[in-house]
A and B are shown apart, each in its own frame.
Chain A
Amino acid sequence: EVQLVESGGGLVKPGGSLRLSCAASGFTFSSYSMNWVRQAPGKGLEWVSSISSSSSYIYYADSVKGRFTISRDNAKNSLYLQMNSLRAEDTAVYYCARGQGAIVVVPAADWGQGTLVTVSS
């Protein structure tokens, strides 16, 4: 059974940093692309970033480019999102989601339960 478990969320002040993690199990992590998707309270889904299986391809939404960094450690079956210069509008539940294949990032057939990031003073 595929399992994706996010962690690292919490309350952070504007301008601060946070690192999210996603622990994967139940599949060959090194063979799949991965995604981060977020959802602000009461709002729709917003794609944040994607990374191919070998980290050769990395993509970011314009809203986070230059502030967020996606990475992965295939030896540890883990996905990360380093978030810097956080803003109030980054407040959201952040989901990690498995991509379709090594390079093709969508559709995302498996999702974690999400971790809440709150940016507030």
Chain B
Amino acid sequence: SYVLTQPPSVSVAPGQTARITCGGNNIGSKSVHWYQQKPGQAPVLVVYDDSDRPSGIPERFSGSNSGNTATLTISRVEAGDEADYYCQVWDSSSDRVVFGGGTKLTVL
């Protein structure tokens, strides 16, 4: 089965840039979606189809995808960005939705 690998945690100071990676075999051939989840809340879609943003999501959130790694980039990080972030793909070879294990973003 297809596996997505994320670092358990990423720390960044306010105002700096956070990069959260999502590794998978030839993930560049798939569409990657990213979700933000704050404690006690439902997930929120922040990037879809590798690099598109839903309406209402700040331009500070961006994504890229190539080769075996997709990356969610959060520029000018704010305290309110502290959350868990999950990547997701559709694996057409198995007809399954796959989530990464999640990355806890800590704003120092």
Contact = CB atoms under 8 A, between A and B. Distances in A.
Nearest to A109: B45
Given A106-B90, A107-B33, A112 B42 contact: yes
Of B89, B97, B99, most buried by chain A (CB within 10 Å of CB) is B97
Given A45-B43, A45-B86, A106 B97 contact: yes
Interface in B23-43: 33, 35, 37, 42-43
B98 interface: yes
Interface residues of A, number: 23
B96 interface: yes
Given A45-B99, A50-B97, A59-B95, A106 B42 contact: no
Contact of B102 (A45, A95, A114): A45
B1 A62 contact: yes
SS of B interface (majority)? strand
Interface string A3-33: 0000000000000000000000000000000
Given A44-B86, A107-B45, A114-B42, A61 B99 contact: no
19 contacts: A35-B97, A45-B35, A45-B37, A45-B86, A45-B88, A45-B102, A47-B98, A62-B96, A105-B90, A106-B33, A106-B88, A106-B89, A107-B33, A107-B45, A107-B49, A107-B88, A108-B45, A109-B45, A111-B42
